[in-house]
Structure 1
Amino acid sequence: MKKTPLFQTHIDAGAKMGEYAGYEMPLFYPLGVKQEHLHTRAQVGLFDISHMLHIEVEGIDAAQLISRLCPYDASTQKLGEAKYTFLLKEDAGIIDDLIVTRLDDARFLIVANAGCADKDLAHIQDTAKDFTAAVLPLARGFLAVQGPQAEAALTDAGFDVAQMTFMSGTEPKADWFVSRTGYTGEDGFEIAAPVAEIEALAAKLLSDARVEWIGLAARDSLRLEAGLSLYGQDLSEDITPHEAGLIWAIPKDLREGGAYIGAEALAAKIKEGRKRMRIGLLADGRPVRAGTPLVSADAVEIGTVTSGGFGPTIDGPMALGLVNVADADAPMFALLRGKSIPMTRVKPPFTPHNYKR
């Protein structure tokens, strides 16, 4: 398995390690999953996300290339603006979900999921053959600093972030990148730094009593409470943005067509009307996990749980499901080891977002 630059740091911190996206990653620390989750909601959680892929796109056609790859017009993107978007197949299935930040007139940074790194890079490089733009994967350390006191902790650590708002990014110095983004629903930042400097950065942040290491288990419960989709579970190549409840990320004028890959298919599917949709669910009793069938009152399968677990903040089980549109408002149950668990449809997020707009 691959290791991030902070592997030994996690071992020294007493982390329980496990495999994720081909990397040996910290699952949890001695604090424990529930307390890590609650600490992030109350103070500051520090996450190693160095497994994620950073790709710089630079050249006179950089904006045109991004606009071909993703369903938005990158030429209108402001400097320092970060966009949540997708790579789509020709049939409008989601190759990956991304954040793309405009760093300069002819330079963009793509941050992609670790599990999709190889296929994303190949797809971007192949598409770039028709454009005057260089595609450069970057070797970096990457940290997420999340929680209501994240801004204060970073300010005390010497970062000038108080004026940044949600979905913005900047380069404080050469080969560093800071964005006000995250995957927890809390206010927070993601910081990329050279591999040789990431360990010192982590140590500096952890010297603040408000900051604790947080593992992947709590990261998952935090993102699920926030109603955020996880690629490989809630999103995949056979799910469109429309079905995933993410059509808001595509400008209205581009839902009827455009220059991006998958535009024609997406427009046709939107016109036809979706047959499946993502919904939020609360379970009556025990948590239900991804892959659990969802059935109607007469035991007919109508969908599946795509993500599920226990939410420490809401003190109960929660889930995201992909279900038939025709059955989305009817009574439904999760079929768990032969037992029917009543499920109540709710609108995500399960706990409010706390982004700084």
Structure 2
Amino acid sequence: MDTDLSVSELPRLHWRVLKTLADGKQHSGQSIADSLGVSRAAIWKSLKLLERGGIEVEHARGIGYQLIDGSVELLDAAVIRPPGLPYPMELEVFSELASTNQFLLDCVLGRPQMPFLCLAEYQSQGRGRRGRNWHAPFATNLNYSLAWPFEQTTFLSGLSLAIGVIVAESLAAVGVSGVMLKWPNDLIVNEKKLAGILIELRGEVGGTVWAVIGVGINVNMSRDELSAIDQPWVSCRQVVGTKLSRNLLARELTQRLFGGLVCFQEQGFSAFIHRWQSLDWLRDKPVTIDRDDGKIAAIARGVTEQGLLTVETSAGPVNLSSGEVSVRVAD
């Protein structure tokens, strides 16, 4: 079979090529093409894009292709699943999804009340807060979503802030220091975005409310990999000076999310507020608040126990909900 693939099909081919090379042995371009049922040209194109994405491939003329030791790590459900979780958990790892959050939103209703963790090597339609796109190269960052069942009476205000604390502490546990929290859902290092959180809800009348907790972390992305991001960003790799294990980070995050979400169910955001305040990146900074009715200049003054941002304006203090506004540090 001699088939060339379009650019939109390449992420799926990346996964298959990486799986072939993951044994660390040398494979000729022709043998890879034959085993995957595509052309040599498609394999060459995939390998070039993988290299551009930071995955190092060694090519010995007349012998074949081989991954350089430690250059890539594919997500592994067996490594990601922490031992001794207090509840059973369903876990799926995909080579590609449109969106890990959307996958869970589409399937949680009517399911048993069991947490469901979904990860993908690549998202074609990843998204962040207020409909913004979330860009991530193939097999490089962490595209992570956890569906968690809450009783309908649970007060979920401040949940995204509590998740921010848990993500920051998970990163610190694997050696990524200096992480700060930008209200309501960004993680910042050295004035640049490292990670983002998106929480979306699904519920049944009189039944369970599912919180789909999406976490996107720039793990091993390098500076020349992606020009599509329109804001200053940084990766864990740049912070610590070496590549980080995405599997170990995902396991640490999952372990801490289970404990943190049980705590949130019992105590709400009040159990996290002091830790959040110690990581508050906006505290006492001049900010610009974008609202539907215009922009407002203010000074950020921390958060309330309901997760609202308190700002000091010319008219006095105001508490803001994340659904109403966008906040940025003033120029």
Task: Look at both structures and tell me which one has the larger radius of gyration over its CA atoms.
Answer: 2
The answer, yes or no, to whether TM exceeds 0.5 is no
How does the TM-score come out when normalised to structure 2?
0.27
Structure with the higher strand share, 1 or 2: 1
